[in-house]
Amino acid sequence: MDFAQIVKEVQESFRDLGKMKMVPAEIVHVTLKFLGDVDEDKIADVGQSLENISCEPFTCLIKGTGVFPNVRRPRVLWLGMEGDFDPLHKQVEYYLEKEGFEPDKREFTAHATIARIKHIPRSNMEQFASMVEEMENVEFGKFTVDNFRLKKSILTPEGPVYETLRQFNL
């Protein structure tokens, strides 16, 4: 089963439990670092700096579901990602810090956001929490991480549109 199909199936499991905006499966991704607003003239420097990253491709296990900030006040539903993300993430942080970006204060947790939760009715909260817990250790599939991309997000009323500015092979 491909990644988009896994995303759709997990989303379907939660769909009727509350008001959620599902992220279209085709644009679900793992964010290594969110840069915020970046001047157009800085993009080339960022891309050149990221060219220096040297990591081996690795296998990513799609494992478990979770929520941010917590199951009592869920705002984001995500799929967990397990793999050798640390060397890649550390190098991204290192090279972007050289370009003037602040390092993340929070510890990096590899995940893919699959839904933004607006509201879970109290009557469904127990079922929602138990589904998150039941799926906590489910292994949904694997894929090879052999590249990463510098993306630009354009916010529209229908949701974000992502444009790939550069792709970097591992």
For residue range 103-136, list pLDDT tens digits in order.
Answer: 999 999 999 999 999 999 999 999 999 999 999 9
Q: What would the pLDDT profile of 24-54 be if each residue is shown by its tens digit?
A: 999 999 999 999 999 989 999 999 999 999 9
CB 32 within 8 A of CB 89: yes
Give the pLDDT of residue 82: 98
Which whole-number Å values give the CA distances from 88 to 26, 80, 100, in the listed order?
23, 17, 19
Q: How far apart are CA 67 and CA 130, in angstroms?
A: 12
Residue 155's pLDDT band (cuts 50, 70, 90):
confident
Q: What would the pLDDT profile of 133-145 be if each residue is shown by its tens digit?
A: 999 999 999 999 9
What percent of the chain is predicted at pLDDT more than 90? Answer: 94
Give the pLDDT of residue 163: 94
What percent of the chain is predicted at pLDDT more than 70? Answer: 100
Residue appearing with tokens 């991704």:
29
Q: Domains in the chain, start-ordered, CATH in brackets?
A: 3-169 (3.90.1140.10)
CB neighbour burial string for 38-71, b if at least 16 within 10 angstroms, e if fewer: eeeeeeeebeebbeebebeeeebebbbbbbeeee
Instruction: Enumerate the active-site residues.
Output: 29, 111
* Residue among 67, 55, 78 nearest 144 (CA): 55
Q: Residue 76, SS3?
A: strand
